[in-house]
Structure formats: structure tokens, C-alpha cells
Amino acid sequence: MEVGFLGLGIMGKAMALNLLRHGFGVTVWNRTLSKCKELVEQGASVGETPAFVINKCKYTIAMLSDPSAVLSVMFDKDGVLEQICSGKGYIDMSTVDADTSSKISEAITKKGGYFLEAPVSGSKKPAEDGQLVILAAGEKALYEEMIPAFNVLGKKSFFLGQVGNGAKMKLVVNMIMGSMMNALSEGLCLADRSSLNEQTLLDVLELAAIANPMFKMKGPAMIQSNYSPAFPLKHQQKDMRLALALGDENAVSMPVAAAANEAFKKARSMGLGDLDFSAVHEVVKTAKGSGEA
Ligand SMILES: NC(=O)C1=CN([C@@H]2O[C@H](COP(=O)(O)OP(=O)(O)OC[C@H]3O[C@@H](n4cnc5c(N)ncnc54)[C@H](OP(=O)(O)O)[C@@H]3O)[C@@H](O)[C@H]2O)C=CC1
Ligand SMILES: O=CCCC(=O)O
């Protein structure tokens, strides 16, 4: 199977490499073209524009940073829309809001193409290992045609119905994750300031009812103030913002998520946006009132 791949950031690069390793033909494009080099060394071809990739491939996957990137790659000059046509499928795996996804879907459908949104849960390592959880919605026939690729990229795929449902599910999941990250950070600070050993707290959590892979994976690095990026904090803040907007739309009160969003915003203002989202720990550690008594 031959696929196009637009966007070779942390996730896109890992996913495209994974497809290559499993025998897929992959034509890649990235805004910063130099990032294609490593993929070419592994057997990928390069397209100079999104339009070129769409013209060449029956199926094209996108993994881009945010709504503005997704819209730009679709609608700008040399973008996807110039070449999408009947018989071609476009699969957007970026995390965006339902409105953005619907705009993309409408534009593609008008030109006779097929659209599937398929954001993913799971980060850099699951992307490298093909262990993502795929939250697809949109054109069911395209979902079925993409199963061979999804089976390589993920450990489980969900088909959630109409366009927007995948985006919403992803935002709900990441809203919970962002709130949990703040809770973990506060817990580590509280343990430390109460003269408890932070690693012992993590050991206790691992055996408790609230044990979860994120605490286990991120906790030890947070104790060391190591925030090497797997999931950039700027993207987590984008997801909190979009999830809170979904809450507004549906009149759902989310004070916990709103507080977590403020911490992520503060972290961005401190220049921590490109670090891992666990770097919110630096905000919690230095918050007024959490210092000496
Ligand atoms: N990292 C993670 O753990 C996860 C991330 N996600 C989501 O996946 C998406 C990608 O994440 P990730 O790979 O981490 O992000 P990165 O920041 O590492 O990569 C972002 C990609 O988007 C491209 N891009 C940004 N702005 C534009 C633009 N205006 N026009 C064209 N291309 C653009 C970048 O190109 P360039 O190289 O030129 O900057 C790069 O290829 C995001 O929506 C994120 O929320 C989902 C699950 C997990
Ligand atoms: O959107 C990013 C999700 C990161 C994760 O699921 O670990």
C-alpha cells in the first residue's frame, strides 16, 4: 500500500518510519523540508508540496501541530485541496477541534474526495512501537480501507461515527490527562515539602487504585526536572483550550480543567512550551504559596 504523509514532527516521523518498516511505500512532505532526510534514508520518497503528495498518492495521512497548521496545509497555495479529487482519501490524525475537522471534511467532500479524522492517543514511544489508540470518525469506507495502516500504527482503532466525534473524544481524553498531570505535579510537591520521598510516593501510586502508565512513565523524570519532549507542552495547552471550548459549547462546568489550563498557559509564558507537558511541574513548584511557610 502506498501512502502520502504530511508532517514529520515528533509523531509524524515515528509513524511514517513505522509504515516504512512494515513495507508501505511512503511519500513524505514537511514544511521544513530538511526533516525529510532521515525518512528518505529509510526508503521514503519526498513530495515538494502537499499538492504534489496528494496527486501522487491515493491515500494521504496528515499529522500536524494544530488547527491553523491543518487549515493552512489544506487551503493555502500548493495545498491539499488543489489536487484532492474523486477516489482519493485524506486522513487527518492531528489533534484539532470538531469545527476544524468539519471544514476540512466539507472542502474535501465537495471535490469528490473522502475524509477521515483519526487523532491518536499515545505519544512518541507508542508511535515508534505501533501502539497508538486510533479515534477515527468520518467516511466509514475509508476507515475500512485504512485498516492495514492502522494495524501497523496502533494497538486498537475505534470508529466513532460522524466527523467531529474523533476530535471530541481525543479532546476529552487529553483534558483528563492534562488535569491528571497537574494533580501528579501537586502531589510530588506536597510529598517533597512534607519531607516525604517523591520516588516512594510514585511506588505507592503504582500499587494504588489510581495507578496509571502516565504517572509511572513521567514521574521519575519529573523528580529529576527532566522534561525531554515526547508530547510538547504547547500542544497540551492547545488541547486544554479546545476542550474548554467544547465544554463552553455544551455548558459543562470544568473548573479542574480550567485551573490546569492556567498552569499550562503560565508554563508557556515561562518559555517551556517546547518541553514535555510534564514541565508544568516547574510552574507548580514555583507557584506563590507553595514555598516556605
Ligand atoms: N507528541 C505527542 O505525544 C502527541 C501529539 N499529538 C498531536 O499530534 C500532532 C503533532 O504532534 P507532534 O508531532 O508532537 O508535534 P510537533 O510539534 O513535533 O510537529 C508539528 C508538525 O506540524 C508542522 N507544522 C506546524 N505548523 C505548520 C504550518 N503552519 N504549516 C505546515 N506545517 C506545520 C511542523 O512542521 P515543521 O517541522 O516545519 O515545524 C511539524 O511537522 C499535534 O496535533 C499533537 O497535538 C497526538 C498524540 C500524541
Ligand atoms: O496528545 C497526546 C497524547 C499523549 C499521550 O497519550 O501520552
Q: What is the pLDDT of residues 110-122, one digit of tens each?
A: 999 999 999 999 9
pLDDT at 293: 38
Which ligand is nearest to the Cα of residue 175, counting in written order?
Answer: 2
> Is the pLDDT confidence value at 21 over 90?
yes
Among candidate residues 145, 73, 149, 134, the one with its CA nearest the CA of residue 108: 73
Which ligand is nearest to the Cα of residue 79, counting in written order?
Answer: 1
> Is the pLDDT confidence value at 248 over 80?
yes
Nearest residue (by CA) to ligand 1, atom 42, is 65
**Distance, CA 212 to ligand 2 centroid (Å)?**
13
Amino acid letter, 201:
L
Percentage of the chain exceeding pLDDT 70? 98
> Is the pLDDT confidence value at 290 over 90?
no
Look over the chain and give the mean of its residue pLDDT values, rounded to a whole number.
97
Percentage of the chain exceeding pLDDT 90? 97
Q: What is the pLDDT of residues 55-64, one digit of tens each?
A: 999 999 999 9
Q: What is the pLDDT of residues 37-47, one digit of tens each?
A: 999 999 999 99
Cell of 189: 510537591
> Is the pLDDT confidence value at 143 over 90?
yes
107 CA to centre of own chain: 23
> Is the pLDDT confidence value at 102 over 50?
yes
Q: What is the pLDDT of residues 72-99, one digit of tens each?
A: 999 999 999 999 999 999 999 999 999 9
Nearest residue (by CA) to ligand 1, atom 14, is 10
Q: How confident is the model at residue 289 (pLDDT cuts 50, 70, 90)?
A: low
Please determine, looking at this structure, whether the domain spanning 2-161 carries the CATH number 3.40.50.261: no
**Distance, CA 55 to ligand 2 centroid (Å)?**
31
pLDDT at 74: 98
Q: Provide φ and ψ at 202, rounded to 5°.
A: -60, -40
CA 95 to CA 83: how far, in whole Å?
A: 23
Mean pLDDT of 236-260: 98
Q: Does residue 121 line the site of ligand 2, with CB under 6 A?
A: yes
Q: Does residue 9 line the site of ligand 1, with CB under 6 A?
A: yes
pLDDT at 288: 65
Which ligand is nearest to the Cα of residue 94, counting in written order?
Answer: 1
CA 100 to CA 142: how far, in whole Å?
A: 19
| pTM of the predicted structure, to 2 decimals | 0.97
Q: Where in the chain is the domain with CATH 1.10.1040.10?
A: 167-284
**CATH code assigned to 167-284:** 1.10.1040.10
Q: What is the pLDDT of residues 251-262, one digit of tens each?
A: 999 999 999 999
Mean pLDDT of 238-257: 98
pLDDT at 287: 85
Q: For residues 274-293, b (16+ Cβ closer than 10 Å) or e, as one string?
A: ebbbbbbbbbbbeeeeeeee
pLDDT at 292: 44
* Alpha-carbon distances of 11 from 16, 123, 140, 189, rounded to whole Å: 9, 7, 24, 30
Mean pLDDT of 131-154: 98
**Distance, CA 95 to ligand 1 centroid (Å)?**
9
**Distance, CA 95 to ligand 2 centroid (Å)?**
10
**Cβ-count burial of 136 within 10 angstroms (0-12 exposed, 13-18 middle, 19+ buried)?**
buried
Q: What is the pLDDT of residues 183-192, one digit of tens each?
A: 999 999 999 9
Q: Where in the chain is the domain with CATH 3.40.50.720?
A: 2-161
Catalytic residues: 170
